[in-house]
Amino acid sequence: MLALMFTSCSGDDGVDGLDGKNGIDGANGVPGIQGSDGVDGTNGADGANGAPGADGEDGNANAQAFYYDTKEYSGNNFVLEVPEFTEKVLTEDTILIYAKIGAVTSALPTSISGQILIEAYLTPNTATIVFFYNEAPYIMALGQIDAIKIIIIDSSSFVERSSVKSASTDVLSKLKNEGVDANDYDAVAAYFNL
């Protein structure tokens, strides 16, 4: 039999060695979940009022323009309420009426494709727009006429009346002499600053 015996002695700890070099950085981790929005801050105080703007261009007391959206109208006539159509306006002033069909605005009476006639009949407080095909009433489809535009020109302040001509004829003659085509809504509106 063999017996071995081990004994050990312990001495004082030695001095720590130098730190090793830093290792290579590891790969970036997966981005975290975005945090929730913070609470809105309180509104700041209103700023001071700005300086007054320049005066606008003077309007025209000689003419008024009215726009009636008729996209939701259908039938063989459209009855529009026009409170400005008083007896005096109907007998003494010039009234120009236009139909807007798509991108085109035409003076009444007019026709669509040379077949459907559009006319206007005026009475106090009312403009009735009627449609005919081959001289018979025509049912206009919903949305076929986009708008009716009306211009009322105060003849007494726009022209000196002729004792022979009607006020409307005098107005139309003056517009023509001024180079304004009364059949062109945009030209008339621009002329009167409407």
User: Which pLDDT score, from 0 to 100, does residue 45 have?
Assistant: 82
User: Which pLDDT score, from 0 to 100, does residue 173 have?
Assistant: 85
User: Which pLDDT score, from 0 to 100, does residue 56 have?
Assistant: 53
Domain residue limits, the chain: 63-191
User: Which pLDDT score, from 0 to 100, does residue 163 have?
Assistant: 45
User: Which pLDDT score, from 0 to 100, does residue 1 have?
Assistant: 47
135 Cβ contact partners less than 8 Å away, ≥ 6 residues apart: none
Find out whether 129 and 138 touch, Cβ atoms under 8 Å. Answer: no
User: Which pLDDT score, from 0 to 100, does residue 11 have?
Assistant: 61
pTM above 0.75, yes or no: no
> In the chain, which residues have pLDDT < 70?
1-13, 50, 53-61, 157-168
Helices (runs of H) and strands (runs of E) counted in the chain: 4, 9
